[in-house]
């Protein structure tokens, strides 16, 4: 099976290609330059792997939560490539990828949601338990959480819980899909998981935050 995965959910661009011969990947910081580099990275991996677009079986992308613009870029690229080659598109939650860094997949996965908030979800054996929440970092309830993973660990209230820094990587999406394809069905419209609709503080809120 030949799988291509793309993630633009944060300041990193992450692209991976999996074939029966192994996995090739690129993962580096581009800040806000995803649209300038993503397609070139995809074509480079396909060339290195000796795989044409039409030889892919599935295209995966990080569906969120994460940076709104980045999520749309990844989804747009995935849909554009898939439409051109008649391939299925599969969106994978970014927190599922982060949960792979939790011991035995147990604990809480957290992503920096900006504006002083975090996206968070509880996981047990790699399975999300309940809904993804978005809360003020200092208000996140950590009681009975065995471990934490994500890029928002330094924003959380003081605790003594084992914590590891982690960000979604395209290779994680491939691993998750190969472990259980039925868990991640194809999406005809590349649906995104925003969790919240607000993307920035208003000018008044910014001034109040500075005063506070």
Tens of pLDDT, residue by residue, the chain (212 residues): 999 999 999 999 999 999 999 999 999 998 888 989 999 999 999 999 999 999 999 999 999 999 999 999 999 999 999 999 999 999 999 999 999 999 999 999 999 999 999 999 999 999 999 999 999 999 999 999 999 999 999 999 999 999 999 999 999 999 999 999 999 999 888 889 999 764 443 333 334 444 44
Rounded to an integer, what distance in angstroms lies between the CA atom of residue 64 and that of residue 94? 5
Which regions of the chain carry the CATH code 3.30.420.40? 3-93+168-183
Helical H segments across 34-100, by residue range = 34-49, 68-85, 94-98
Q: Which fold, 3-93+168-183?
A: Nucleotidyltransferase; domain 5 (3.30.420)
Rounded to an integer, what distance in angstroms lies between the CA atom of residue 95 and that of residue 112? 11
pTM strictly above 0.85? yes
In three-state secondary structure terms, 126 is coil
Q: Which residues contact 41 (CB under 8 A, 6 or more apart)?
A: 13, 15, 26
Rounded to an integer, what distance in angstroms lies between the CA atom of residue 105 and that of residue 147? 9
Rounded to an integer, what distance in angstroms lies between the CA atom of residue 60 and that of residue 72? 13
């Amino acid at each position: 099976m030949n799988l291509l995965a793309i993630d633009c959910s944060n300041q990193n661009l992450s692209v991976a290609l999996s074939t029966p011969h192994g996995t090739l990947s690129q993962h580096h910081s581009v800040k806000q330059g995803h649209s300038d580099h993503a397609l070139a990275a995809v074509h480079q991996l396909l060339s290195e792997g000796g795989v044409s677009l039409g030889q892919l079986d599935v295209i995966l992308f990080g569906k969120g939560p994460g940076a709104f613009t980045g999520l749309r870029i990844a989804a747009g690229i995935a849909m554009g490539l898939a439409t051109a080659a008649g391939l299925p598109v599969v969106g994978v939650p970014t927190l599922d990828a982060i949960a792979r860094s939790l011991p035995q997949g147990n604990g809480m996965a957290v992503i920096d949601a900006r504006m002083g908030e975090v996206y968070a979800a509880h996981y047990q054996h790699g399975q999300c338990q309940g809904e993804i929440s978005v809360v003020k970092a200092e208000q996140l309830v950590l009681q009975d959480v065995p471990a934490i993973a994500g890029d928002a660990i330094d924003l959380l209230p003081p605790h003594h819980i084992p914590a590891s820094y982690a960000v979604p990587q395209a290779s994680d999406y491939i691993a998750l899909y190969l472990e259980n394809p039925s868990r991640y069905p194809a999406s005809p419209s590349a649906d995104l998981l925003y969790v919240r609709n607000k993307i920035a503080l208003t000018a008044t809120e910014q001034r109040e935050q500075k005063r506070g």
